[in-house]
Amino acid sequence: MIKNYQLLIEYDGTKFVGWQIQKKGSSVQGEIEKILKKILKQKIKINGSGRTDVGVHAIEQSASFKTDLNIKNKILFLRSMNHFLSKKNISILNLKNKDARFHARFSAKKRSYKYLIINREAPLSLMRERAWNIKKKLDVNLMKKGALILKKNKDFSTFRASSCNAKSPFKTIDKAIIRKKNFKIEILFRSKSFLQQQVRSMVGCLKYLGEGKWTLKDFKKVVDSKKRINCAPPAPASGLYLSKVYY
């Protein structure tokens, strides 16, 4: 009988070419499949909830795979997986039994991303590859107003990478929150799905707004233009985290 399993995964994306297997370079998917084959003694293909680009991290990525093996000892399985994956900065947080219809990507109802900014003059030591260090003081209240504009928007053509293969630029963001505590600024977005580089592009534009390079009127004009050429440079991948996938 075929079993269907879900993996919940945490990883530091700094040294990977992204989630998906590429012709060159190490991918998160590839490293996990390699260890699954080692432990289960058969070739396993996993399906992720979505692709994360090079350098992007995950607090809780979701993936699914099917096998004719019954994984009886969940604790032993997780320990074995994490023993081999720990050197790669990948952790398997949980293993869940799912019905035959479950698919990590197609069953997902919402995806949540977090972007982390450290707004201070001093450079980063501990968070160098895990946040964006912006030295100029940002106007967070103005950025919050910009986030509300993004939440009301539907056509995200301005924030769509030229290589994006999504059928439509229309998306619905049901959560756009900015929180600040001391030097740390967290930007949270939630939607059913996102365009390629959408979150990083939106953060890049919010940064321009917060720095005073754009007024709120300028920001809205860029959003409404639906032209990629008007977008600010995307925020670096190092500050982006796939935080949760909802089913």
Positions marked active-site = 53
Q: Please tell me whether residue 241 adopts helix, strand or coil conformation.
A: strand
As to burial, measured by CB atoms within 10 angstroms (0-12 exposed, 13-18 middle, 19+ buried), residue 156 is buried
Query: How far is it, in rounded angstroms, from Cα 191 to Cα 63?
Result: 18
* Greatest CA separation for the chain: 60
CB within 8 A of 18, min separation 6: which ones? 27, 28, 51, 52, 53, 54, 56
* DSSP characters over 1-43: --EEEEEEEEE--TTSSBSS--SSS--HHHHHHHHHHHHHSS-
CB within 8 A of 15, min separation 6: which ones? 26, 88, 89
